[in-house]
Structure 1
Amino acid sequence: MVSQIILFCEKKKRLKNVILKPKINHLLSMAAILNRKTHRIEKKNALFKRIYRQKCCQERGYTMARRGENIYKRKDGRWEGRFKSGIKADGTAKYSSIYGKTYAEVKAELSEKRVKTTVSAVPRDLTLNNLFSIWFADIRLKVKESTYMNYRMKYEKHISLTLGKTLYDKLTVEKLNSFIQCKLSSGLSAKYTADIAGVIKSVCRFAKKRFGYEDKSEFMVIPKGKAKEKELLDKAGQTRLNSYLIANPTLSNVGILLSAATGIRIGELCALKWENIDLEKKILTVRNTAQRIKNIGGTTATKLVVTSPKSSSSVREIPLPEFIIPLLSKAKANSGCYLLSGTRSIVEPRVMQYRFKRVLSDLSLPDVSFHSLRHGFATNCIAIGVDVKTLSEILGHSSVEITLNRYVHSSM
């Protein structure tokens, strides 16, 4: 009995599917066709609506506004046109409106206003401080964080207090040159003063591009001075230092020796991980650099950041000398660990400076900077016949001139 009931239900279900399924499919297809027709009708209706509006406008004696003209008909029957009448102190556009009885009247007056405000849109009340604020907001995401903070530091320390309140419209070449001369007289080097001038030039170019101002820095005098020659260890001092570092292969000492043997910068050394050192191929890859920068809005005054190197040419591969391979092999740690700590904690550049100074003091060697190791490496490479182009690539310079002018010292 139960089996018969089940059989009956199955037959009934099959019968239901045979009858209803085609009807459901037919209804779905009809709905799809109806939707397509409705969409076409809506498109036609929108077109007919616009044509109808144009006819009504012609019958009533006025022209219909076009898209993008910023001309609209108000509820009170008047026409309104909006135009850019100037720029606010924060750099945003300032708009004004004109009104008329007809579209043609507003359009004609709007054209005149736009021509007149092409020059008057240039703001006349922006100070240099205002311009720097707008410029900083503009470049915030365009440059590296360290570069941005470098610009801010130069502005806050040297430019803001002296020139900040000056209206840009009243800024003159004489004022800028006087400012540069004042900085040189205060004891700043020609190179550093030129860097400050470069920041001012960037803001003046920005003012010209953004607001249509004259570039006030076009004829500003940029100081040129020969960079102070780096004090280096002599041959005997280098030999004593290298012998000490090899005999005492702590992680810091191996790092100092590596800098002397490859010419990498102190920030690049601190950011170096074991994954960047291939002992089999004897290649060191520079991909990052570490430095401490000002921490705006943070809980501490400064913060340590690890970013990409100074420039695209600073990302490079450097061959490792044979004598340092055994020392690196003994010190090797996991790939994610930093070379100088052997852990995932970074040793910052300031700490390495102190450790290097301590080594020099213990050996009674001259108090040279850590960066002098890089200069010494370049000079030694030239002395043994390494061509300048290859040396420039190893040092990560963008041009051979930088290598020759700044890093190659006389061996006499």
Structure 2
Amino acid sequence: MPRKSHYGDGSVYQRKDGRWEAIIFHEGRKISVYGKTEIEARKKMRERQRQVLAGEIARDPTRQTVGDYLLQWLDSCKVGIRPHTTKNYQSHIQHVLNHPIAKIQLQKLTREHIQSFYNTLNLAPSSMRTLHTTYKKAFQDAVEAEKLVKNPCHKVKLPQPQDGEMHEPPPENIVVIIQDILDIAQAEFEQEQSRISLIVLFAIATGMRIGELAALRWEHLDLEKSLVAVRGTLIEIEEIKIGPPKTKSSKRNIVLADFAVEALRAYRVKQLKQKLQTKNWEQLNLVFANRKGGFLQTSLIRRQFKAFLNQHGILEKYRLRKFKFHWLRHGTASILFAMGIPIEVIGQMLGHTRASSITANIYTHIDQQLHIQAASAMNKLVQHQ
């Protein structure tokens, strides 16, 4: 039987299993804590009462689980976000659904739960960061909806790579690697005019994302003025199509280095010949098209890039387990920065929303001459001047 207590003290009694249970009520909801002894149970009860008085116990009458909440959150945020973002959210939430943390009541979720969950994941650092960003946003929305008082992702430490685990090459190494890749790609293109060598050349020359390259059309190029207009990215969910750029700042114009213009002119001639020899050529006017003029899937670009690296011994030479296509973009930024190109120009060239800690909105106009200097820096890289 519960022991008689003063109003507000709660009830404490010993259960049949020998444990002691202390009960308090908050906004019509029963809250129980347990202890091996009566003293321990009362101590926990006083702490819970303190949390109630401090407003640290949020309302959640549905007793919703973490998994149920995240699925509900995903449905609620699908409107107004890009399909690719939705796909990423789904992938991140699936990690939770495959883990016991999904069955914990949202009300009881703590930072310790999140930390323990993170420690079980075996993800690359970049993947871990994007996953953490998703969870922070989801649980912050729960705080704003008064389902949580605090965001359990706050101050959680992301797991560090184990010794020997490969991750992105350090900046001082990536510049050397990119220089090597650029030299090899240029030599291969001069001999074979292969599509992958041009893609690599163009990716380094412009810093464009892989989806932007796959969506590039000839009408987006002005070879007389050495300009490329980035106006879309390839969407590969349900159907393959060209969608809007990743962000507002991703819509941009880039001044091309001379070697990129010359390579594009030569490749254009080759592609036109291929078009005349191919039946049912798709009239998409893509720069980097498949054998019938259709969309070149980004997964194929990545596979061909991997084969390109293996063929020329890049991974073995630099003792790398892998080298991601996206790292070409990092290399472009590192090279231009080392050559003294202002960080704001590099940020605009790559389509970053933020350049360093300065928002792109502050720099609404940067002298065109600085962009021409960026292209000249690329020319010097090829010419080794």
TM bucket (normalised to shorter chain) is: 0.5 to 0.7
Which amino acid is the alignment partner of residue 247 of structure 1? Q
Partner in structure 2 of residue 340 of structure 1? 288
Q: What are structure 2's unaligned runs of at least 5 residues?
A: 1-27, 29-56, 162-166, 276-282, 316-321, 359-380
Task: Summarize the Cα distance change of 1:275–1:214 in structure 2 as closer, same or farther, 3 Å threshold.
Answer: same
Pick one of 347, 363, 377 that aligns with 2:312: 363
**8 Å Cα contact 2:210-2:326 kept in structure 1:** yes
Alpha-carbon deviation of 1:212? 4.7
Alpha-carbon deviation of 1:345? 1.0
Partner in structure 2 of residue 166 of structure 1? 104
**8 Å Cα contact 1:265-1:371 kept in structure 2:** yes
Alpha-carbon deviation of 1:222? 4.1
Alpha-carbon deviation of 1:135? 0.9
Pick one of 241, 248, 253 that aligns with 1:312: 248
Q: Secondary structure at the match of 2:115?
A: helix
Cα distance in 1 for partners of 2:178, 2:295 equals 31
Cα distance in 2 for partners of 1:136, 1:268 equals 27
Cα distance in 2 for partners of 1:323, 1:190 equals 34
How does 1:266-285 map onto structure 2 within 5 Å? Answer: 266-285=210-229
* 2:334 is the counterpart of 1:398: no
Normalised by the length of structure 1, the TM-score is 0.59
Task: Summarize the Cα distance change of 1:128–1:278 in structure 2 as closer, same or farther, 3 Å threshold.
Answer: same
Partner in structure 1 of residue 265 of structure 2? 329
Task: Summarize the Cα distance change of 1:360–1:122 in structure 2 as closer, same or farther, 3 Å threshold.
Answer: closer
Cα distance in 2 for partners of 1:160, 1:168 equals 16
* 2:382 is the counterpart of 1:382: no
Which amino acid is the alignment partner of residue 359 of structure 1? F
Partner in structure 2 of residue 350 of structure 1? 299
Task: Summarize the Cα distance change of 1:323–1:237 in structure 2 as closer, same or farther, 3 Å threshold.
Answer: closer
* 2:154 is the counterpart of 1:199: no
Cα distance in 1 for partners of 2:235, 2:324 equals 16
Larger Rg computed on CA atoms: 1
**8 Å Cα contact 1:173-1:217 kept in structure 2:** yes
Deviations 1:186-225 (A, max 9, x none): x334443333332222222222333554234264414286
Deviations 1:122-162 (A, max 9, x none): 42421112211221111111211110110111111345533
Q: Secondary structure at the match of 2:296?
A: coil
Alpha-carbon deviation of 1:391? 1.1
Cα distance in 2 for partners of 1:339, 1:188 equals 34
Cα distance in 1 for partners of 2:350, 2:104 equals 42
Alpha-carbon deviation of 1:357? 2.7
Partner in structure 1 of residue 66 of structure 2? 128
Task: Summarize the Cα distance change of 1:246–1:265 in structure 2 as closer, same or farther, 3 Å threshold.
Answer: farther
Pick one of 137, 152, 158 that aligns with 1:223: 158
Cα distance in 1 for partners of 2:154, 2:211 equals 36
Pick one of 87, 110, 135 that aligns with 1:149: 87
With CA pairs under 8 Å and 6+ residues apart, which has the higher RCO, 1 or 2?
2
Task: Name the % identity.
Answer: 23
Partner in structure 2 of residue 35 of structure 1? none
Pick one of 182, 186, 197 that aligns with 1:253: 197
**8 Å Cα contact 2:135-2:153 kept in structure 1:** no
**8 Å Cα contact 2:182-2:204 kept in structure 1:** no
Deviations 1:227-274 (A, max 9, x none): 743664264553233222233223443222211211112221111111
Task: Summarize the Cα distance change of 1:392–1:353 in structure 2 as closer, same or farther, 3 Å threshold.
Answer: same
Alpha-carbon deviation of 1:324? 2.5
Task: Summarize the Cα distance change of 1:128–1:250 in structure 2 as closer, same or farther, 3 Å threshold.
Answer: same
**8 Å Cα contact 2:71-2:93 kept in structure 1:** no
Deviations 1:2-42 (A, max 9, x none): xxxxxxxxxxxxxxxxxxxxxxxxxxxxxxxxxxxxxxxxx
Task: Summarize the Cα distance change of 1:162–1:401 in structure 2 as closer, same or farther, 3 Å threshold.
Answer: farther
Deviations 1:298-347 (A, max 9, x none): xxxxx545332332222211111122223322433699411112765100
Pick one of 317, 321, 328 that aligns with 1:373: 328
Normalised by the length of structure 2, the TM-score is 0.62
Q: What are structure 1's unaligned runs of at least 5 residues?
A: 1-85, 87-118, 296-302, 404-410
Deviations 1:88-138 (A, max 9, x none): xxxxxxxxxxxxxxxxxxxxxxxxxxxxxxx99742421112211221111
Cα distance in 1 for partners of 2:130, 2:120 equals 15
Partner in structure 1 of residue 114 of structure 2? 176
Task: Summarize the Cα distance change of 1:203–1:360 in structure 2 as closer, same or farther, 3 Å threshold.
Answer: closer
Task: Summarize the Cα distance change of 1:305–1:170 in structure 2 as closer, same or farther, 3 Å threshold.
Answer: farther
Which amino acid is the alignment partner of residue 215 of structure 1? K
Deviations 1:168-194 (A, max 9, x none): 1222232222222333xxx33444333
Cα distance in 1 for partners of 2:248, 2:207 equals 17
Q: Secondary structure at the match of 1:164?
A: helix
Alpha-carbon deviation of 1:368? 3.2
